[in-house]
């Protein structure tokens, strides 16, 4: 049986199209979410808390929109927001 490797506070997970990370307090406020999603969570995988950001490697609005559409199409999260860093995913 595999065990889940904990992700410590501030950890960033590199993906082919960007980096998965916790949202900042400002990003939470921008999309009108609780800022508790931005609090460092060092004891386990922060993705269990809920919201996260996919920080994209591109500034191309069409590419970011396509990523947001893909997240929505594959039901990744409850709500998807396009922000300056990339995609904010509500869980």
Q: What is the pLDDT of residues 22-40, one digit of tens each?
A: 899 999 999 999 888 888 7
What does pTM read for this prediction?
A: 0.81
For 2-8, what is the mean pLDDT?
49
pLDDT in tens, 54-91: 999 998 999 999 999 999 999 988 999 999 999 999 98
Residues near 33 by beta carbon (within 8 Å), at least 6 away in sequence? 23, 51, 88, 90
- Which is more confidently placed, 9 or 68? 68
Under 8 Å between Cβ of 22 and 53: yes
- Give all strands of the β-sheet with 13-15 in edge-to-edge order: 13-15, 18-21, 52-56, 86-90, 79-83
């Amino acid at each position: 049986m595999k065990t889940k490797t904990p992700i410590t506070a501030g950890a960033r997970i590199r993906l082919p199209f960007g980096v998965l990370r916790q949202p900042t307090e400002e990003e939470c406020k921008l999309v009108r979410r609780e800022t508790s999603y931005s609090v460092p969570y060092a004891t386990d995988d922060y993705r269990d808390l809920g919201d996260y950001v996919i920080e994209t490697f591109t500034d191309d609005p069409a590419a970011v929109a396509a990523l947001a559409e893909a997240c929505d199409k594959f039901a990744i999260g409850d709500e998807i927001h396009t922000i300056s860093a990339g995609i904010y995913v509500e869980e």
